[in-house]
Amino acid sequence: MRIALLGSGRGSNADAVLRAQAEGRLGQAKVVGLWCDVPTCKMLELGPKYGVPARFLDSGPFKTKFSPEREQVWADDLKAAQVDLVVLAGFMRVIKAPLLDAFAGRIINLHPSLLPAFPGLDGIGQAWNAGVPEAGCTVHWVNAEIDGGAHLGQTRVHREVTDTLESFANKIHAAEHALLPAVIARLSETLSR
């Protein structure tokens, strides 16, 4: 299963997926490239580190959505790379047609909350400010509703009284780094090509 990792920032989850692949923990999945929508994105440094093609692709003038023309360019580029599964690993842009249509039922997203709680931006900050005793992360299918598709996996993280926002966030990130490669490995065994 040929997978594309899409990200906008630090790339710690892309790193976790590539590390899993290097250690033989990614099942039948193979990362065929990294696609970033921010030219200064740290995630781009993972390309040379792991010997995987990494590219910045312009997404248009908006911050959290594509322009329709640029979204078509992304869809065409991913199709040209013969991608079977698109993985949003810290990708901060909403996916709509034409990308959503080009990869219908073939896009998954990682979100740092126990969805359906705290969708949208800053899932960790939302959970922290709400004072919930339990938070976590979710991997789900992407559909037209923001963070609304069927769940593929969730990990729960407890908030201890000693936690700071930083330690709380670190625990959620550690949970993400385990969950995303595990879900990809499972899908690689079950999703038809």
Give the one residue of 112, 136, 149, 181 binding ligand GAR; rule: CB under 6 A: 112
- Site size toward ligand GAR (CB under 6 A) is 14
Stretch that binds ligand GAR, among 98-106, 109-117, 148-156, 157-165 (CB under 6 A): 109-117
Report d(CA 79, CA 98) in Å as an integer: 12
Report d(CA 21, CA 49) in Å as an integer: 13
Return contacts of 19-26, CB within 8 angstroms, 24+ apart. Answer: 19/181, 20/181, 20/184, 20/185, 21/50, 21/181, 22/50, 25/181, 25/185, 26/181, 26/184, 26/185, 26/188
Which CB sits closer to ligand GAR, 48 or 69? 48
Catalytic residues: 111
Residues 145/176, Cβ–Cβ less than 8 Å:
no
- Closest contact distance (angstroms) between CB of 176 and ligand GAR is 6
Q: Which of residues 7-26 bind ligand GAR (CB under 6 A)?
A: 7, 9-13
- Closest contact distance (angstroms) between CB of 162 and ligand GAR is 22
Stretch that binds ligand GAR, among 2-10, 69-77, 98-106, 182-190 (CB under 6 A): 2-10
Which CB sits closer to ligand GAR, 76 or 167? 167
- Closest contact distance (angstroms) between CB of 93 and ligand GAR is 9
- Closest contact distance (angstroms) between CB of 91 and ligand GAR is 7
Report d(CA 109, CA 189) in Å as an integer: 18
Residue for token digits 């193979």? Answer: 30
Cα angle 109, 113, 117 (rounded to 5 degrees) comes to 105
Residue from 50, 57, 123, 48 nearest 86 by CA: 57
* 106 contacts ligand GAR (rule: CB under 6 A): no
List of residues contacting ligand GAR (CB under 6 A): 7, 9-13, 89-90, 110-112, 123, 173, 176
